[in-house]
């Protein structure tokens, strides 16, 4: 069966704001900070796995230099630096599939680096969370 992925069908919502002006190529990476389990093998070859209760994670969002989403993320970063009020929710949903990534408490780790050149470039924003709920799913079957 043929399945279809459409990058335009991926919704990224940060603090209630839909992110627009996504970069060409990889525009979002979602990752947990630690493995779900650690393995320890004893001298006799017996193994024990230990569950990690660290659900922290990182969203790395790359958007075009001219995107108004830069203003939104800069405002969250400044609010956090000035008063600690930059904690927001993040929702990423593939509307053409089953992938879903949610953080109820997230913040801009640091403002994006700014680079200026002859042509516009991209801005990379790192958003951290203490609890990342994630489901990596497939895409829907295409219909003819």
**Which CATH number does the domain housing residue 62 bear?**
2.30.110
CB 135 within 8 A of CB 33: no
CA angle 78, 81, 84 (to 5 degrees): 110
Report the domain count for the chain: 1
CA angle 115, 17, 19 (to 5 degrees): 45
Q: Is residue 58 part of a domain?
A: yes
Which residue range forms the structural domain that includes residue 105?
7-38+48-135
Whether 144 has a pLDDT exceeding 70, the answer reads no
CA angle 121, 126, 127 (to 5 degrees): 135
Q: Is residue 143 part of a domain?
A: no
For 5-18, write each residue's pLDDT tens digit.
Answer: 999 999 999 999 99
For 28-74, write each residue's pLDDT tens digit.
Answer: 999 999 999 999 999 999 999 999 999 999 999 999 999 999 999 99
Distance CA 103, CA 118 (A): 37
Q: Provide the whole-model pTM.
A: 0.93
Q: Is residue 43 part of a domain?
A: no
Q: Is residue 140 part of a domain?
A: no
């Amino acid at each position: 069966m043929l399945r279809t992925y459409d990058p335009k069908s991926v919704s990224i919502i940060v603090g209630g704001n839909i992110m627009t002006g996504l970069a060409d190529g990889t525009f979002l990476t979602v990752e947990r900070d630690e493995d779900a389990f650690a393995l320890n093998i004893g001298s006799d070859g017996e193994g024990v796995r230990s569950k990690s209760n660290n659900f922290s994670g990182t969203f790395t969002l790359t958007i075009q230099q001219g995107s108004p989403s830069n203003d939104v993320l800069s405002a969250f970063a400044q609010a956090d630096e000035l008063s600690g009020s930059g904690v927001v929710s993040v929702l990423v949903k593939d509307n053409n599939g089953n992938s879903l990534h949610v953080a109820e408490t997230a913040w801009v780790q640091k403002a994006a680096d700014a680079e200026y050149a002859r042509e516009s470039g991209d801005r990379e924003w790192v958003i951290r969370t203490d609890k990342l709920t994630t489901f990596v799913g497939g895409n829907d079957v295409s219909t003819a």
